[in-house]
């Protein structure tokens, strides 16, 4: 009776898992404080602009690179206090999924994995730049992806 169990384990060992994280890394990072040190004498009431962008590309076979780019700009009296940009990336193995599920994985699931790393890097850079702690709010990539699908449908149907 142990033979069927061994055959089953052999089949599982040969079948790659449908999702793996190969690597998570910082692909690009930039931090600028063009108006320092004078900006530190200003009252700290910045206007903050946060931009978020995601993209994915197939590397080879079932390997994909996904990235989340976060850009945060803080201005005081129309002068830039800081500008930080982090491009957090990951290499993911994704196999055996239908096209719609693959797109969801690349457009929502993987960015959800990457965002906390980007969030931490942004916060660390801003603090190391001499500015007060800055924490990005969590992002609902599922909602962003759903909105993207909705917008795409609207463009297809005039």
pLDDT recorded at residue 46: 97
Residue 39 bridge partners (DSSP): none
Global pTM?
0.86
CB 36 within 8 A of CB 130: yes
CB 119 within 8 A of CB 136: yes
Burial 96-127 (b: 16+ CB within 10 A, else e): eeeeeebebbbbbbbbebbbebbbebbbebbe
Question: How sure is the predictor about 4, in pLDDT bands with cuts at 50, 70 and 90?
Answer: low
Tokens, residue 49: 């602009």
For residue 147, give the DSSP letter: H
Residue 49 bridge partners (DSSP): 73
Tokens, residue 142: 């599922």
pLDDT recorded at residue 36: 96
The domain locations on the chain are 28-153
Instruction: Give dist(CA 141, CA 45) in Å, integer.
Output: 29
pLDDT tens across 102-150, in order?
999 999 999 999 999 999 999 999 999 999 999 999 999 999 999 999 9
CATH superfamily, domain at 28-153: SecB-like (3.10.420.10)
Question: How sure is the predictor about 17, in pLDDT bands with cuts at 50, 70 and 90?
Answer: confident
| Helix or strand run (H / E) with residue 8 | helix 2-14
pLDDT tens across 63-115, in order?
999 999 999 999 999 999 999 999 999 999 999 999 999 999 999 999 999 99
Question: How sure is the predictor about 23, in pLDDT bands with cuts at 50, 70 and 90?
Answer: very high
């Amino acid at each position: 009776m142990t033979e069927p169990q061994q055959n089953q384990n052999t089949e599982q060992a040969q079948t790659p898992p449908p999702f793996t994280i190969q690597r998570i890394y910082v692909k690009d990072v930039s931090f600028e404080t063009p108006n320092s040190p004078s900006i530190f004498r200003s009252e700290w009431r910045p206007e903050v602009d946060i931009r978020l962008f995601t993209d994915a590309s197939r590397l080879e076979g079932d390997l994909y690179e996904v990235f989340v780019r976060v850009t945060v700009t803080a201005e005081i009296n129309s002068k830039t206090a800081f500008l930080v940009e982090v491009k957090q990336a990951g290499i993911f193995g994704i196999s055996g999924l239908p096209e719609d599920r693959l797109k969801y994985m690349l457009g929502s699931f993987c960015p959800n994995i990457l965002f906390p790393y980007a969030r931490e890097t942004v916060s660390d850079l801003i603090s190391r730049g001499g500015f007060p702690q800055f924490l990005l709010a969590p992002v609902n990539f599922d909602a962003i992806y759903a909105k993207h699908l909705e917008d795409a449908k609207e463009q297809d149907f005039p």
